[in-house]
């Protein structure tokens, strides 16, 4: 029997063109961000309490004091990250980080400069966390199909542009952080101490 292993050439490795790799990487990053976002939404839905049966609600729609106390005990009424604490804050920050790293920075990051500082440790800056989270919440609402065709335009005009002006300003939350990509820096600026009211004895 003849040996055919020497006469059959090895198949050439398949090479994806570089421009296609960029498209694939971008699509994969967006898909990963969407999957993570869906996971966060599912976690939120799973942690929400079951709706109260209609029979136990006041018929006139007015809330009793007990009902108000019960609603406050269930957790914060806001989805804003600064209203969250403990594990809820950690979960929300992780989801926000995915959005910032896989969508916001690759598309809207822009180059770091003295007039446009940035901090890789942005999650240590409370103002940055608050602004980015608000921006992300608006993005979720205004890029949804129900927002209509002008939703993304409204998001850019009313939310993104204003956030970038304040977030990346030379005197913004990253004022003491990286102003050159070759010299990374991180420092959280001190904020004014709250006024202490002295009460006369």
CA neighbor of 124 nearest in space, from 164, 87, 97, 163: 97
Residue 62 inside a domain? The answer is no
Give the residue-averaged pLDDT of 160-173: 94
> What integer pLDDT is reported at residue 27 of this predicted model?
66
pLDDT in tens, 31-47: 666 666 666 666 665 65
Give the range among 12-21, 57-66, 86-95, 117-126 with minimum mean pLDDT: 57-66
Phi, psi (degrees; rounded to nearest 5) at 194: -60, 145
Residue 69 inside a domain? The answer is no
Residue 184 inside a domain? The answer is no
Domain that holds residue 158: 18-51+81-167
Residue 161 inside a domain? The answer is yes
> What integer pLDDT is reported at residue 191 of this predicted model?
84
DSSP string, 49-112: PPPPPGGGS-TTSPPPHHHHHHHHHH--S--SGGG--HHHHHHHHHHHHHHIIIIIHHHH----
> What integer pLDDT is reported at residue 33 of this predicted model?
64
Q: Which residues pair with 116 in a beta bridge?
A: 113
Give the range among 27-36, 43-52, 67-76, 150-159 with minimum mean pLDDT: 67-76
Give the residue-averaged pLDDT of 85-95: 89
Residue 196 inside a domain? The answer is no
Give the residue-averaged pLDDT of 127-155: 93
Residue 177 inside a domain? The answer is no
Contacts of 165 (CB under 8 A, 6+ apart): none
Q: What is the pTM of this model?
A: 0.61
Residue 94 inside a domain? The answer is yes
Residue 159 inside a domain? The answer is yes
Contacts of 84 (CB under 8 A, 6+ apart): 76, 92
Number of domains in the chain: 1
Q: Mean pLDDT over all residues of the chain?
A: 77
């Amino acid at each position: 029997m003849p040996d055919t292993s020497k006469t059959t050439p090895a198949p050439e490795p398949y090479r994806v063109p570089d421009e296609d790799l960029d498209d694939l990487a971008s699509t994969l990053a967006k898909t990963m961000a969407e999957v993570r976002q869906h996971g966060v939404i599912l976690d939120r839905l799973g942690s929400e309490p079951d709706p109260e049966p209609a029979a136990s609600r006041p018929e006139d729609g007015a809330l009793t004091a007990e009902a108000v106390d019960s609603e406050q005990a269930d957790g914060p009424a806001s989805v804003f990250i600064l209203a969250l604490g403990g594990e809820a804050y950690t979960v929300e920050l992780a989801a926000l980080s995915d959005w910032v790293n896989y969508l916001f920075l690759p598309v809207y990051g822009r180059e770091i400069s003295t007039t446009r500082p940035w901090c890789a440790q942005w999650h240590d800056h409370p103002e940055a966390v608050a602004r980015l989270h608000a921006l992300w919440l608006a993005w979720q609402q205004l890029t949804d199909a129900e927002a209509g065709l002008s939703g993304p335009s409204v998001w850019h005009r009313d939310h993104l542009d204003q956030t970038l002006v304040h977030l990346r300003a030379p005197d913004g939350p990253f004022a003491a952080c990286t102003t050159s990509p070759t010299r990374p820096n991180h420092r959280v600026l001190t904020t004014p101490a709250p006024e202490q009211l002295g009460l006369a004895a």
